[in-house]
Amino acid sequence: MEGDRLFRQVADRTDDTEFYTPVPEGYHIGRTKYVVVFGTVMSGLGKGIFAASLAKLLQDRGLKVAAIKLEGYLNVDSGTLNPYRHGEVFVLDDGMECDMDLGTYERMLDQDLTRDHFGTSGQILRAVLERERRGEYLGRDVQMIPHVTGEVKAKLRNLALKTGAEVVFVEIGGTAGDFENAYYSEAMRQLAYEEGPGNVCFVALTFILEPKILGEQKSKAAQLGIKRLLEMGIQPHIIACRAANPVTDKVREKISIYTNVPVARIFSMHDEPSIYLIPVRLRREHLDRQVVHLLDLVESVNARAEQEAIKVWDAFCEKIRHPKHEVTIAVTGKYTAVRDSYASLIKAVEHAAAALDARANIRWIDTTDVTDENVAEALAGADGVIVPGGFGTRGAEGKIACIRYARERFLPYLGLCYGLQLAVVEFARNVCGLERAHSAEVDADTPHPVIDLLPEQKKVVDFGATMRLGGKDVEVRPNTLAAKLFKGAKTARLRFRHRCEVNPDYVERLERGGMVFSGKVPGKPIMQILELPDHPYFIATQAHPEFTSRPLRPSPFFLGLMAAALGASAVGPFETEQAKV
Ligand code: GLN
């Protein structure tokens, strides 16, 4: 291909030409299709959800898709970000700590992603600076254009090459017009030019205001936002409008006039009770058909595969829309309007509930003030309890009180990472009689550090990417609840993000008390799953199974909790004497 030859040639000679675009070996310009999603007006509109929904629709049509998120910030990964500020830190199988949108892609597409699917300005600039040190730009002054933008394009092309995707979905973080993201937009403009007409589809996600004082939808902010894209040389092909209510034809027409986008390609993406219903609506409005035509993919779609995929997804959505049962799950987590900090957990609960034809209402319990005295009140009406992952001291004692209550009152319990560690602390104190037992993370002076730093963590000095991270195999002990949940499988692959573990010195003591360790690191005394046999459902894992739960393949831990909670909700909580284990 002519373009391909041109770019490869210029990539090799950088000092006597202005052209520069690194193209990975084996990549053919113009062969991969790209859909690039930009946000306008403001961030947090659900670009990831939109991009993932659209990618799913194309995947359902038999196309091979890959998604990548590009973040503007200078952090190399998301590991050191505060989830209350930026949403949950999602962990990939290869150990990459990344943005929560990667979780949305994994769930919607039922794909395991890798670090190739996540980029930050920190990574991009680091790569450019490393190249410069290696002398790869010899003779040239290294510039934002073309070198940094070249690195962005190289990242996308590398992903296309490695995954063999026919369509690569690119989500640009932040909002069009942000200073920190401007070079991404420029790189996308160049990409469209280089890959050629019909190969790159630009989508603008925007927001339609509906001020209460006016009582009608207003399109001005959307117009101005999209104008920022046009100023950067990016003409959207498709516009998706986020709004509380369906976007009126009048507003769509107005946007069309100002943006050169036909009304048929301006979509309403109003609120839905579940994000899993969004692909269904977008399909009904023919968004996927528009993209297939724009990118000239008509020949590549597989109608039979699509019918099958639609059937399966519609059945799942039907259960979400019309559940037969209802349960309440208490989650100890500070719910400060930042729902995003527990995004995967919320989804994992939803998947498990849907599989059992139920709707699960999550009740957030801020445990800062919870004690043994008032815990019954705090958990009243809950059919199950989850203590999710966490760090630090705040609320730890309240969480321990919740775990004690769940254990003694036979309320179904699921502990996730920190929730396993605190379950060990509770059991050590109240069953094994180890007074003041604690996690060394919370109480450095405890006489019984039943939870302690992993040996390899004691040497760690850097903060970023130094936890025990990513997917690991866990050996499941036969004839346990865990074995039952995993249907007899000998190993389960789970995802981790932690520094502490059950202190091996206390394992025997805990086992004597009746705690069963049903999952370990293969061949090592590192405990990964625990359970209590004399309890309807008390299980905890050092892992984060919420990261690997998928809509049609819920996590067994959550499924078990939901089944037990449904049982509890049907017969009421077990009011018995304290369990003697
Ligand atoms: N703070 C605990 C640890 O580092 C738990 C971590 C978590 O829950 N993700 O081990």
Give tens-digit pLDDT for 147-161: 999 999 999 999 999
Q: Give the largest CA-CA distance in the chain.
A: 84
CA 159 to chain centre: 19
Cβ–Cβ < 8 Å for 229, 38 = yes
Instruction: Evaluate the CA torsion angle 361, 497, 98, 292 in order and state its sign.
Output: negative
Pocket lined around ligand 1, Cβ cut-off 6 Å: 389-391, 417-418, 421, 441, 497-500
Residue 13: pLDDT band with limits 50, 70, 90: low
In terms of C-beta density within 10 A (0-12 exposed, 13-18 middle, 19 or more buried), how is residue 433 classed? exposed
Distance CA 77, CA 367 (A): 30
Q: Token pair of 457, please?
A: 């963590």
Q: What share of the chain is helix, strand, coil (3-state, %, to 5)?
A: 45, 20, 40
Residue of the CA atom closest to atom 7 of ligand 1? 389
State which ligand 1 atom lies nearest to the alpha carbon of 497. 9
Question: Considering the chain, what is the average pLDDT of its residues?
Answer: 91
Q: Token pair of 527, please?
A: 């405990």
DSSP run (H or E) holding 290: helix 287-294
Distance CA 363, CA 349 (A): 12
Residue of the CA atom closest to atom 9 of ligand 1? 389
pLDDT tens-digit series, residues 240-291: 999 999 999 999 999 999 999 999 999 999 888 999 999 999 999 999 999 9
Best probe residue, ligand 1, of 452, 498, 503 (max atoms within 8 Å of C-beta): 498
Residue of the CA atom closest to atom 6 of ligand 1? 498
CA 194 to chain centre: 31
Residue 136: pLDDT band with limits 50, 70, 90: confident
The residues facing 72 across adjacent strands are none
pTM score of the predicted model: 0.93
Cβ–Cβ < 8 Å for 477, 518 = yes
Residue 199: pLDDT band with limits 50, 70, 90: very high
pLDDT recorded at residue 140: 86
Strands (E), 118-237: 118-120, 167-172, 200-207
Average pLDDT over residues 52-64: 96
Best probe residue, ligand 1, of 88, 500, 503, 547 (max atoms within 8 Å of C-beta): 500
Cβ–Cβ < 8 Å for 173, 61 = no
